[in-house]
Amino acid sequence: MPALTAARNTPEQAGNRLYRFPIKAGATIHAGGLTVLDANGDAQPGAVATTLTAAGRAETGSADNPAFVNVRRGVFRWGNSAAGDAITAADWGKTVFVVDDQTVAKTNGGSTRSAAGICRGVDAAGVWVET
């Protein structure tokens, strides 16, 4: 398909933003925490690992239903890492990485961290991340 030469009506599809996942055996997920999925599709709190997929923010926690967690996708503010791994405004649009269930970092920690999502802003309170 050739490049545009005039305005285009580009369709957009609004997707579901709330999902339900089984909780990994032994995991404790707190409502409001950064939630990730393991290779089996089981939810757990964000942690340093290279095999996890960011799912979003836990809307319910393990205490609400020990078998399942409701997770919302969107843009959420997480804590910023420190020192050389701190995310800045220059990182807008770049991939940021999971440190734990409330913190993200600029780097993959020497190939030890999974992607948390895309940086959509930084303020004094933290980093806005799209998952």
Domain boundaries, the chain: 18-72, 75-130
Helix (H, G, I), strand (E, B) or coil at 120: strand
pLDDT of residue 66: 83
What gap in Å lies between CA 12 and CA 123, rounded to an integer? 29
pLDDT at 118: 98
Q: Report pLDDT for 12.
A: 79
Q: Are 55 and 34 spatial neighbours (Cβ–Cβ below 8 Å)?
A: no
First-to-final CA distance of the chain: 30
Q: What are phi and psi of 15, to 5 degrees?
A: -100, 170
Q: Could you give the strand order of the β-sheet that contains 18-22, starting from the edge strand earlier in sequence?
A: 18-22, 68-72, 53-58, 34-37, 43-45
Q: How would you write the pLDDT of the chain (131 residues) with one tens digit per residue?
A: 899 999 999 887 777 789 999 999 999 999 999 999 999 999 999 999 999 999 999 998 877 778 999 999 999 999 999 999 999 999 999 999 999 999 999 999 999 999 999 999 999 999 999 99
